[in-house]
Chain A
Amino acid sequence: MSRSRVLGLMAFFVALTLLLAACASEDEEVDAADDAEEEEESPEPDTEEGPEEQDEAAADDHGFEDGDVITIVVPSDPGGGYDTIGRQLQPLIEEELADITGLDLSVSVENMPGAAHRVGTEYVAAAEPDGTTMVFTAVLIVSNYVLQDVDYDPREMTPIVDVGTLPRGFVIRPELGLETLVDVAAHSVEEPLVVGTPGLEAEMAVLRELLQEAGHELQYDMVSYEGVPESATALLRGDVDLALAGAASWVPFIEDNPEDMQFLVSLGCERDEGIEDVPSITEEDIDTADAICGSIGGQQRVLVGPAGIPPATVAVLEEAILRAGEDEAYVEQTREAGQWAPMRGSEELRSMMDTSLETYEAYREEILEAQ
């Protein structure tokens, strides 16, 4: 085959492709023009409407269009807690959005793992603020900002829904004979304890400082594990004296090995539904208990969008997700998996993120030293 013929064929193919693309663009322009005409034909909204009409008008201002795909970015590998809950919620949110907007919107879950949620969060932070992209993450959105050099500011990002908080708790070897966190602190002064934790070094550092402020010194050596199963094995082997992790993750291990490990305390502000026998830290004689439970008491699972999503769009998303969270099967399945707390709206999420930010900024140096 001569070179000129190859080039000719390539040029033909490229031209054909460009032509097809141009046709597609023209179609889009025609569609956009039709939409614009429809908008012009529709009556002007009445400015003196009642609250219900205003709500409806607000709902119409959400900016979504038929066929839009709303992407929930899960910044971790497939198969983890975030991924599982994201995929459970996906069809439910899709259904509720259709019900609220009357549009054919689809919801997609995409995994974008890397750098402790940074890759997915930075991707979403840079996305268009039109409500079609949000990240399903944790308090890491705040701690990464305080402790690392990231390309976003959590104060500017748009909170949508707190999907649920997983309470944290301490699990201890029963033969130590320690009943409360205060006992643990007193014991640790005489004999420093070995604490195992799957990635909660920052939270341990905050806890130590807050206990110190309340007059309880906690001395420990930290062992960093890659997950709760590894942490649980270490406790079973006697490698560590106690461990800090999400309470729900520990339930199956404690139920399977009651003679080797037991809950000491939950760091939640109240007793948690799934582990009602376990006392909350607020029941102990610790002056800073409220600060502890308010800052590091639970692992939040939050849906957050890029900065600048219009309030009407947030309202629609929030309503759809909160409604999805009331689905009976979803509630039952997530409770089985240890997520006992209900969903909360965007305002409560904003306040929670601000509290976390204050805590991490206040103890930044101590956390960095602990790491």
Chain B
Amino acid sequence: MIESIPEALGVLASFDVLLLIVAGTTVGMTAALLPGIGGSTALAILIALTFTMPPTHAFPFLVAVMGGTGFAGSITSILLNLPGEGVNAATTLDGYPMARSGRAGEAIGASAAASALGALFGVLVLVAAIPVVRPLLLAVGPAEVFALSVAGIALISSVSRGKMIPGLISGAAGLLISTVGLNTAVGTPRFDYGSRFLFDGFPLVPVIIGLFAVPELLKLIARKESISVTPPETSRGAWKGVKAVLQRPATLLRGSAIGVGIGVLPGVGAAISTWVAYFVEKNTSSDPSRFGHGAIEGVIAPEASNDSKEGASLIPLFALGIPGSISTAILMGAFAIHGIPSGRQMLEQENIGLVWMMIFALILSNILVSSLGLVAARPLVRLTALPVAIIAPIILLLSLSGPYATTRTFYGVLVTVAFGLLGIVMVATGYPRPPFVIGFILLPIAERNFLVATQVHRGSFGFLLDPAVLSILIVAVLPMVVLPLVRRRRAQRGDARNRESLPAGAAEGGTGNLPPGSPPAPDAERSALPDDPEAAYSNRGAEFVWLGLLGLWALWFGAETFRMGADAALFPRLTVVVLLVLLVARLGGAWRARASGQLEAGDGAGAFPLRGIVYACLWLVALPVAFLALGILVGGAVYAFVFYMAHRGRPRVATALRGVALGAGCWLGLYSVFERGLNIRLPTGWFF
């Protein structure tokens, strides 16, 4: 096996192959910067280019595209709070607060270094594991994946630390909404009401963009401020981030190991590995309250996990001939076109050279993309200082045109807007969004594997008593459920001792619920942000309306389940029961708190800038209207121009010219990327 390395390196060192690796990395990086497009779409489109290439050129190129996408998606997550793909969403939690406090360069540097080193870790594990991993992979079947998914869902309880009941309610809402659409295990569409769009459920990327990017953007519009509230640190920021990664080897290793562990399991869903890495890091931290406020570990862990999984996802491809991710599935299709076998036959003498070439190309592209990121960090951080008149329409256009490209219909745009409004409600009422996303991603995996395991066992649930399944459930679930409860109890004891010195309303949320205006914690890394994105806008009146709507929705879906078969109804019904119990618990808790005088009605009311956010929502809704009326290209350009003019102060010829330049730039950007680059025809509108 090793004797083929020099030959593989020799081919890789040729000018044309190196050029293809650079080109692939660049294309992958560019695609990953576009929300909703992502590496797998770019890979699929680029496969056509490789039909006429020899395999020694085609596969290093395709693998370089894969490698190029890993780190790049984190750039928009950090700078714009706009995750390129589902896997980058966890990075927004601390990356964006870092950008807000002028530390964007440091976050990009940390992400670049963590990505490169994580990828290297993944590749090393790949090389070491291929000969021995086959029995392990075959031992993990649907029952074990179900148990692992349940462990992931249990993570919601630890994610919700400090806001246990609201967090669990968010998680349950995410679980329930994920049941919309076809249940592939039993072939039954649920809650689709005959709609061909709801038939497939809600697509992940528009949901994540809506929940995370849109509310933060609307806040910027409402306040008419730049992303960075303090001047961005442009000099040496990126290197500070690199240094931070090197100083935290345990964080890097934990994140990478989680990425490999989850990435190696086919069908588990890569998006979850970054969330697990983030929350494991938070739970193991000596000061978890820093997370969500710009803790650099909150960038390092998910990014190391994200990139280490790329190498890991190749393990089942080489060991079993089974793709571990969408990208490797596309790669497997390319193998077939080129007449190259997958699985163990790839490791035979005639193909092993190609395997080594792919491994080295993956390493090269990861190093290349991270280096490009470090070089580009300095100009990129300046984006965070752009006035809202320029940056907001650009982010909104990316936020809504990316989902269009994902679904090729306006459905993606509507889902983004709808979940954006939901995100605003969740922020306004103090309900955390990460549990929602974790529930949304994991329930379909858990449910599908549960039903498949049941079918394999001819309708019996006996597999739940399998020692491996039981062990996973006990080892993984119990600590996640018990530890937060123990911590909460400890915190309550501490609170009881210190209650007199705490401000009203802060008792439930601990440090995460500090009201606006509270002095920042004495921690050098905590961002001096003017608000806490998840908590500060807590508004009791709005919360009760929100809970009421959730209750009605749960009852409605609960009633619908009685029209379904038992298999299709099982998980939605369970989720409805859990959600209703949690809603009752929340309302009961609020009632008791009010009775004991610990909770004042309308606590936090007024902190939410209602007028400003309504104004911003109107701008949000105006963009899809512009798309429908004028088409995405012209509508986007006109929207950018009008937005600029409305937010840029006195109208002068120079201002108007700059507005026209912005509109033209948006038009050109959308046209060149979507229509020319990706061959995605953007629709015209009613008038154009």
Task: Write the residues of chain A forming the contact surface with B, with a CB cutoff of 8 angstroms.
Answer: 1-2, 5-6, 8-10, 13-14, 17, 21, 71, 77-81, 83-84, 87-88, 90, 108-116, 118-119, 122, 149, 194, 199, 201, 221-227, 229-230, 232-234, 236-237, 239-240, 252-253, 255-257, 329, 333, 336-338, 371
Contact = CB atoms under 8 A, between A and B. Distances in A.
B333 A114 contact: no
B567 to A, nearest CB: 11
B648 interface: yes
14 contacts: A6-B645, A9-B659, A78-B41, A78-B45, A84-B48, A87-B45, A87-B47, A194-B455, A233-B320, A236-B138, A252-B342, A256-B342, A337-B333, A338-B336
Given A114-B407, A119-B409, A232 B44 contact: no
Interface string B325-364: 0100110110111110111110000000000000000000
Contacts of A6: 645-646, 651
B178 to A, nearest CB: 16
Contacts of B645: 1, 6, 9-10
Nearest to B459: A221
Interface string B38-78: 00110111011001100000000000000000000000000
Interface string B208-251: 00000000000000000000000000000000000000000000
A232 B184 contact: no
Nearest to A84: B333
A114 B200 CA distance: 6
B534 to A, nearest CB: 33
Q: Pick the 8 closest A-B CB pairs, nearest first.
A: A78-B44, A256-B343, A79-B44, A79-B330, A87-B48, A115-B199, A336-B339, A5-B651
B18 interface: no
A239 B138 contact: no
Nearest to B197: A114
Contact of A236 (B187, B320, B680): B320
A252 B337 CA distance: 12
B476 to A, nearest CB: 22
Contacts of A224: 184-187, 452, 455
Given A81-B333, A115-B197, A224-B455, A230 B266 contact: yes
Interface stretch (B493-501, B524-532, B634-642): B634-642
A80 B329 CA distance: 9
B196 interface: yes
A230 B337 CA distance: 21
A78 B46 CA distance: 10
Given A10-B645, A83-B44, A256-B344, A226 B336 contact: no
Given A336-B337, A337-B336, 12 more contacts: A13-B660, A77-B44, A88-B48, A108-B681, A114-B199, A221-B459, A232-B321, A237-B138, A239-B141, A252-B343, A255-B343, A256-B343
Q: Which of A9, A80, A225 gathers most chain B CB within 10 Å?
A: A9
A256 B321 contact: yes
B42 to A, nearest CB: 9
Contacts of A122: 196
Contacts of B458: 194, 221
A116 B201 CA distance: 12
B194 interface: yes
A253 to B, nearest CB: 6
B55 to A, nearest CB: 12
Contacts of B680: 110
Contacts of B51: 88, 329, 333
A226 B408 CA distance: 23
Nearest to A108: B679
Interface string B239-272: 0000000000000000000000000001100000
Given A79-B326, A233-B266, A256-B321, A2 B651 contact: yes
Contacts of A80: 333
Contacts of B44: 77-79, 83
Contacts of B338: 333, 336
Nearest to B185: A224
Contact of A84 (B47, B185, B266, B323): B47
Contacts of B186: 224, 371
A255 B408 contact: no
Nearest to A336: B339
Contacts of B409: 112, 114, 119
B688 A21 contact: yes
A110 B407 CA distance: 11
A84 B45 CA distance: 9
A336 B336 contact: yes
Contacts of B43: 79
A330 B563 CA distance: 49
A163 to B, nearest CB: 15
Interface string B442-459: 000000100010011011
B322 interface: yes
Contacts of B47: 79, 84, 87
B611 interface: no
Contact of B187 (A79, A114, A201, A234): A201
A116 B332 CA distance: 22
Contacts of B452: 223-225
Contact of A371 (B187, B321, B408): B187
Contacts of B345: 252, 255-256
Interface string B177-214: 00000101111100000101101100000000000000
Nearest to B329: A79
Contacts of A255: 341, 343, 345
A254 to B, nearest CB: 10
Given A1-B648, A84-B333, A232 B688 contact: no
Interface in B82-141: 138, 141
* Residue of A225, A252, A371 with most partner-chain B CB within 10 A: A252
A199 B182 CA distance: 12
A223 B455 contact: yes
A13 B641 contact: yes
Interface string B629-666: 00000100010011001101111000110011000000
Contact of A114 (B40, B196, B330): B196
A17 B634 contact: yes
A110 B368 CA distance: 31
B688 A9 contact: no
Contacts of B659: 9
A5 B659 CA distance: 14
A111 B679 CA distance: 10
Contacts of B330: 78-79
Contacts of A237: 138, 141
A10 B634 CA distance: 14
A92 B188 CA distance: 40
A13 B637 CA distance: 11
Contacts of B342: 252, 256
B200 A115 contact: yes
A234 B138 CA distance: 9
Contacts of A239: 141-142, 456
Residue in B199, B322, B341 with the greatest tally of chain A CB atoms within 10 Å = B322
Contacts of A88: 48, 51, 337
Contact of A110 (B336, B339, B641, B681): B681
A223 B451 CA distance: 9
Contacts of B681: 71, 108, 110
Contacts of A71: 681
B200 A230 contact: no
A223 B456 contact: yes
A71 B339 CA distance: 29
A210 B103 CA distance: 68
A88 to B, nearest CB: 6
Contact of A257 (B343, B456, B687): B343
A236 B338 CA distance: 25
Interface in B147-195: 182, 184-188, 194
A234 B326 contact: no
Contacts of B341: 252, 255-256
B48 A90 contact: yes
